[in-house]
Amino acid sequence: MLEQVKSAPERLASRDAAGDRGLGSEKGRQIRDAVHDLMPLIRKNALEGERLGMVPRETVEALQKTGLFLASIPVELGGYGLGARDLAEILVEVGRGDGGTAWVTMIASGHTRIALTLPDKAIAEIYEQAATWPGPTIAGGSLFSEKIQKAEKVEGGMIVKAGGKWLFASGSKHAKFAAVGIDFEEDGERQRGMVLLEHGQYQIVDDWHVMGMTASSSNSLTTTEDVFVPEYRFLDLSEFPERLGSFRKRYSGLGYSLNALGVMLTVPLEMNCAALGMAKGAYEAFVEQAKARKPFNLPYATVADSPGTQITAGKVGAMIRAAEAVLMNTADKIDRKAADDGNFEPAEESEMIMDMVYAGNLCGDAIDQLQYAIGSSTISDKNPIQRHVRDVRVILTHGSLRYDPAAEINGRYVMGLPPFSAFAGGLPGVKSKAPKDS
């Protein structure tokens, strides 16, 4: 008698599908598995999240209890300081349920790295309630955009001018603070900075009306009156790379045992793992629906009986496994480097980002093929496949994940051409200080 074999979706959904977990920790596994157990809740609330323009409170509170929002916070501040493999697996699991929820999860992690570049007093304020705060503690908007808000340097801090907007403040409807970009003048020169605003000092603009990722609450932020920000809530962005490079001297844990380039590599990793999770979730829905639906104009009992559907299942399964192999290998490389000397070089970083962006776009193409194979039944707003289609396309328009720009940046290294500036060095008015620890 043949042994029962798991189906392809079951194998892809397996929490240890990629085999060896590298330097993944037991705490990371516990959070990942707790998120897995919440999958019915996350999926049930996904449509409501689109209608609300934010992840529903029930979902956020349930995720908060798993320790999810503490995953990237340093141990010294009450978190777990998890490494790249742990964060990658957690993001994939959340993405299987809902893209908007995965993006808010990524924001909670990625913006921690940004917040930790601020002065110590500001950091303490941000994370003093991290263990009980439901959702990401901090959001951010227009930190590295060309057009940002004006500010004036005054005694004791900054005056942020009224009017204008900071764009794409993902997680804004959940966060207690927002880190936003400012443009100010000092010694007759234009400068760039970051200020920390507390909820109540800014307003959330009702302008996040988009084709996908509506639950990410990536609304714009604005101020209706001038706001004073004390000096300890300000950072000159020219110091940003150096501050990132100092993390490994200040914080313990695999996630912080890296130079500036390594610390920030985890952010595109998590973004692309959200796309991978959505591809896995769409694949599960595809197989379930193919077995339950009858073709419109073909003589098969179910869509699953069609050779075309079977070919799609085989091809897309391979695409998802290939993307997963790339992303988990990248996560393991980051962790191994953290366990060693922690130093990444710019050319190495650009190649890893290129690989991750390729994997993320492969996931987007996989989801498109799944929708095409199932057909018109996927267009209902209740069908998770169409949500994954729209959400992943929005994710892949993010500046960090666009295919051709990532290829050009990496290709310049390949061709021996001068590289483009990294970090704040590429912004007008910012003379980036090279990270001493990079």
Sign of the Cα torsion 268, 269, 275, 278 reads negative
Q: 57: domain CATH number?
A: 1.10.540.10
Q: Same structural domain for residues 289 and 317?
A: yes
Give the three-class secondary structure for 284. Answer: helix
Looking at the domain assignment, is residue 431 inside a domain? no
Looking at the domain assignment, is residue 248 inside a domain? no
List helix spans (H) across 14-83.
Answer: 26-37, 39-44, 46-52, 57-65
Q: Same structural domain for residues 184 and 155?
A: yes
Looking at the domain assignment, is residue 242 inside a domain? no
Query: Which of 134, 149, 178 is a domain's end point?
Result: 134
How many domains would you assign to the chain?
A: 3
Looking at the domain assignment, is residue 26 inside a domain? yes
Q: Same structural domain for residues 333 and 389?
A: yes
* Cβ-based neighbours of 383, under 8 Å, separated by 6 or more: 285, 289, 377
Q: Same structural domain for residues 144 and 122?
A: no
Distance from C-alpha of 43 to C-alpha of 51, rounded to nearest angstrom: 14
Query: Which of 77, 110, 134 is a domain's end point?
Result: 134
Q: 272: domain CATH number?
A: 1.20.140.10
Q: Same structural domain for residues 214 and 282?
A: no
Domain hosting 36: range is 8-134
Q: Are residues 278 and 102 in contact, defined by beta-carbon separation less than 8 angstroms? A: yes
Q: Same structural domain for residues 108 and 171?
A: no
Q: Which residue in 214, 327, 219, 215 sits closest to 270, CA to CA?
A: 327
Q: Same structural domain for residues 12 and 104?
A: yes
Q: Same structural domain for residues 418 and 278?
A: yes
Distance from C-alpha of 42 to C-alpha of 4, rounded to nearest angstrom: 29
Q: CA dist 352 to 113, 263, 348, Å?
A: 19, 13, 6
Q: Same structural domain for residues 218 and 365?
A: no
What is the pairing mode between strands 189-198 and 177-186? antiparallel
What values do phi and psi take at 373, rounded to 5? -70, -35
Q: 220: domain CATH number?
A: 2.40.110.10
| pLDDT in 10s for each residue of the chain, 438 residues | 334 446 666 656 655 544 577 889 999 999 999 999 999 999 999 999 999 999 999 999 999 999 999 999 999 999 999 999 999 999 999 999 999 999 999 999 999 999 999 999 999 999 998 888 988 999 998 888 877 889 999 999 999 999 889 999 999 999 999 999 999 998 888 899 999 999 999 999 999 999 999 999 999 999 999 999 999 999 999 999 999 999 999 999 999 999 999 999 999 999 999 999 999 999 999 999 999 999 999 999 999 999 999 999 999 999 999 999 999 999 999 999 999 999 999 999 999 999 999 999 999 999 999 999 999 999 999 999 999 999 999 999 998 899 999 999 999 999 999 998 655 444 555 655 555 554
Looking at the domain assignment, is residue 275 inside a domain? yes
Looking at the domain assignment, is residue 435 inside a domain? no
DSSP codes of every residue in 402-438:
-HHHHHHHHHHHHTTPPPPP-GGGGSTT--PPPPTT-
What is the pairing mode between strands 177-186 and 221-222? unpaired
Q: CA dist 129 to 69, 203, 342, Å?
A: 12, 22, 30
Looking at the domain assignment, is residue 52 inside a domain? yes
Q: Same structural domain for residues 142 and 127?
A: no
DSSP 422: -
Looking at the domain assignment, is residue 278 inside a domain? yes
Q: Same structural domain for residues 295 and 280?
A: yes
Longest dimension (CA), the chain: 82
Q: Same structural domain for residues 260 and 376?
A: yes
Query: Which of 104, 134, 164 is a domain's end point?
Result: 134
